[in-house]
């Protein structure tokens, strides 16, 4: 079995339990509490309100067909097939869980918080495996091709808000929309955390009279590259060296100890880095999220 086939099989096997958790999150937190849900599933909720005999999962699959035909052209067959599989798995899982278990209503804010966490985490795992669950998830992937600088979670947030408003009208409840917005915001944060959180990085700017020793210690202890930038004091006009170093979040304590241990008077600025590509971090991939 070659590596590509093994990866695809692993993805297919992983999506099944993730889809089951996704379905539990929806049927436990959203459905019994009438919390507005974004995307195609939200539209399916609206249809289910007026046609109770139409299962939410099955309607979701039917509504996804036109969007998948559109996605075939722009995203290619491989992503679309994996997304079709993930969409079918999550939608059918919703119908199965809904048929097997009747979840009682809970405190709506708890439902919004935990529902957002569960759905955001499961969607993030599915996206990391190169798939989507269809609907606005697929629409967000299409928009990502055009707006590459925007995090995927924020794109989903924007696309889903309109559907949440329509779902709230169907439920005839403003509270349904407000709780839906809370859940959607939380899910977008968790989704971005799953997609980008493991790649958290910092950038340090170090100004010191002993920059050579600091540079040597950072290279020795952390094996991190350091770039030396020319600088000049605005008040003194004195020429200085500014060290620039990208490092992982967990290494910040070591960086601080090295700098202040060598030069207590050193000027240290640490900034968050949204994305770092290159040696010691992650590689660039085409159509990266």
pLDDT tens-digit series, residues 170-228: 777 788 888 988 998 898 888 878 877 655 678 889 998 888 899 888 888 888 888 88
Identify the pLDDT of residue 9: 82
Residue 32 vs residues 35, 101, 107: alpha-carbon distances, Å: 8, 11, 11
Q: Return all residues near 1 (Cβ < 8 A) that are at least 6 apart.
A: 9
Return the residue matching tokens 């490092």: 247
Q: Is there a single domain that holds both residue 181 and residue 207?
A: no
Residue 84 vs residues 32, 65, 78, 132, 217: alpha-carbon distances, Å: 27, 9, 10, 8, 51
Mutual orientation of helices 108-128 and 152-171 as an angle, nearest 10°? 140
Identify the pLDDT of residue 226: 86
Identify the pLDDT of residue 238: 83
Separation CA 201–CA 243 (nearest Å): 16
Q: Vertex 23, ends 55 and 42: CA angle to 5°?
A: 55
Separation CA 270–CA 169 (nearest Å): 47
Identify the pLDDT of residue 112: 93
Domains of the chain: total: 2
Question: What token pair was written down for 48?
Answer: 């289910």
Which domain covers residue 222, as residue numbers?
200-273
Identify the pLDDT of residue 274: 67
Q: Is there a single domain that holds both residue 166 and residue 50?
A: yes
Task: Give the global pTM.
Answer: 0.67
Residue 1 pLDDT exceeds 70:
no
Q: Is there a single domain that holds both residue 256 and residue 124?
A: no
Helix, strand or coil for residue 288? coil
Identify the pLDDT of residue 283: 56
Q: Return all residues near 15 (Cβ < 8 A) that are at least 6 apart.
A: 85, 86, 89, 126, 129, 131
Q: Is there a single domain that holds both residue 97 and residue 60?
A: yes
**Per-residue confidence band for 135, with pLDDT thresholds at 50, 70 and 90:** low
Give residue-wise pLDDT tens across range 2-13.
666 777 788 788
Q: Is there a single domain that holds both residue 32 and residue 152?
A: yes
Domain boundary among the residues 198, 225, 251 is at 198
Q: Is there a single domain that holds both residue 24 and residue 153?
A: yes
């Amino acid at each position: 079995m070659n590596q590509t086939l093994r990866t695809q099989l692993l993805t297919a096997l992983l999506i099944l339990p993730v889809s089951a958790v996704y379905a539990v999150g929806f049927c436990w937190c959203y459905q019994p509490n009438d919390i507005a849900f974004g995307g195609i599933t939200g539209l399916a909720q609206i249809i289910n309100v007026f046609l109770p005999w139409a299962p939410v999962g099955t309607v979701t699959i039917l509504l996804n067909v036109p969007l998948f035909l559109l996605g075939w052209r722009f995203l290619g067959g491989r992503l679309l097939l994996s997304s079709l599989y993930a969409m079918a798995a999550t939608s059918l899982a919703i119908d199965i869980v809904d048929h097997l278990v009747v979840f009682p209503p809970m405190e709506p804010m708890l439902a919004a918080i935990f529902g957002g966490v569960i759905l955001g985490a499961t969607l993030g795992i599915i996206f990391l495996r190169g798939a989507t669950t269809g609907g606005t998830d697929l629409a967000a992937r299409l928009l990502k091709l055009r707006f590459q600088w925007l995090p995927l979670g924020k794109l989903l947030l924007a696309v889903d808000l309109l559907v949440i408003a329509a779902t709230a009208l169907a439920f005839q409840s403003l509270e349904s929309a407000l709780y839906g917005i809370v859940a959607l915001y939380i899910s977008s944060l968790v989704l971005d955390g799953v997609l980008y959180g493991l790649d958290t990085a910092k950038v340090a700017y170090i100004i010191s009279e002993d920059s050579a020793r600091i540079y040597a210690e950072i290279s020795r202890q952390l094996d991190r590259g350091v770039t030396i930038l020319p600088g000049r004091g605005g008040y003194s006009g004195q020429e200085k060296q500014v060290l620039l170093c990208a490092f992982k979040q967990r290494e910040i304590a070591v960086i601080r100890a090295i700098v202040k241990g060598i030069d207590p008077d050193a000027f240290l600025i640490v900034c968050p880095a949204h994305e770092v590509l290159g040696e010691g971090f992650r590689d660039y991939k085409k159509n990266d999220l």
